[in-house]
A = this chain, B = another copy of it.
Amino acid sequence: MRILVLGGDGYLGWPTAMHLSAHAHEVAVADNYLRRRLCREEQVNFLYEVPDLDERAALWQSVSGHRIAVHIGDLSQWDFVAKVFEKFGPQAIVHYAEQPAAPYSMLHRKAATLTLHNNLSVTANVIFAVREFCPDAHIVKLGTMGEYGTPNIDIEEGWLEVEHKGRQHKFLYPRQAGSLYHTTKIMDTDLLWFYVRTWALRVTDLMQGPVYGLFTDETEKNERLLPFFNYDEIFGTVLNRFVVQAVAGYPLTVYGKGGQTRGYLNIKDTLNCVRLSVENPADHGELRIFNQFTETFSVNDLAARVQETGSELGLNVDIQHVENPRLEAEAHYYNPRHTGLLDLGLSPHYLSEDVLVEMMEYVIKYKDQIKHDQIYRKVKWA
């Protein structure tokens, strides 16, 4: 299948591109290196250097024999989007091309405006490009479990049958997010759902939980194929950050009580979830929603797991409950359903001791490059 991966430079975009390429799909990526620019501007570094897309694609071709076409440009600009879609004629689009960090979106007005404008513009352009150039193509959009927030009732998989005063209606599950970033994902879903109904688009919206890890089947061929890895509070995801903190001898920064519970998944499962979605497309006029995670943990659970593994590796890992910079429930009901991707054949990689050891041992190689002052700068959200 011809698959266009938007945001192909990202933490998940590049591994996804290689994974689909390894599974005999014809893959093109598009990116404008926005994430790298934002990291530079906010003075946060990746744990290790990561080659640019042209270099990565050349390296991937040399180790796998598969070619990934690279398009560098800004997907919030229609002319670039139109050019890429017209040239490549995708049968599926994997849309990661968004400003992906909740804390970044809460930094200041310019960051908020960039997030809102970039994320909505790219999603709209993807919709318009599919309508114009490839109306049969399937859009696989990365959403987030954060769209649901933490309601006091079970989180169903995308939809909710509501009974009210003796009558019934099936709604998109009502959403209420905890950051501007997550709110733009709600808006994406609203936008996609509108055009699915109006233009009979085919869309899968993946409500993904926080991802951890860096190794995939494809990165085994060469470590320069690893995704970039943030450990700062702005762009790093929580388990990745805790692993780096453990290695750096920096107390694990648990926000508030640490009872915040979310659904997590290994980066390997992200790739399989996306591939399964692409290979089993939604129908025309269908907005298919999957809750994409494999197990739930509280932040306290994660900290305890990292502390335990760290101790076994001879690290002295402290846990520190710091003032919560976010506005969020620190103890709450959380029961999200997630059967759709399992039904498609997902075989989860659960968070095991081995997984943590492998991550930690790799991070130890870069211990001297960890910049302590980037780990936690107390960016307040409210």
Contact = CB atoms under 8 A, between A and B. Distances in A.
Interface string A152-179: 1110000010111101110111111101
A222 interface: no
A382 B131 CA distance: 11
A322 interface: no
A198 B162 contact: no
Contacts of A78: 109, 113
Interface in A161-215: 162-165, 167-169, 171-177, 179-180, 183, 186-187, 190-191, 193-194, 197-199
Interface residues of A, number: 46
Interface stretch (A66-74, A115-123, A224-232, A339-347): A115-123
Given A116-B120, A381-B198, A193 B168 contact: no
A112 interface: yes
A333 interface: yes
Given A176-B193, A186-B190, A164 B160 contact: yes
Contact of A124 (B113, B124, B177, B382): B113
B183 A160 contact: no
Contact of A164 (B154, B167, B175): B154
A128 interface: yes
Contacts of A173: 174
Contacts of A171: 151, 174, 176
Contacts of A193: 176
A24 interface: no
Contact of A194 (B109, B152, B154, B177): B177
A262 B15 CA distance: 49
A333 B124 contact: no
Nearest to A131: B109
A169 B191 contact: no
A167 B333 contact: yes
Nearest to A175: B190
A153 B174 contact: no
Contacts of A333: 167
10 contacts: A109-B132, A113-B121, A152-B167, A153-B163, A153-B164, A160-B164, A163-B163, A180-B194, A198-B381, A199-B382
A128 to B, nearest CB: 5
A226 to B, nearest CB: 34
A101 B171 CA distance: 25
A44 B191 CA distance: 28
A171 B177 CA distance: 12
A190 B183 contact: yes
B165 A153 contact: yes
A145 B169 CA distance: 17
Contacts of A194: 177, 179-180, 183
Contacts of A112: 124, 128
A221 to B, nearest CB: 41
Given A113-B78, A167-B153, A174 B177 contact: no
Contacts of A327: 197-198
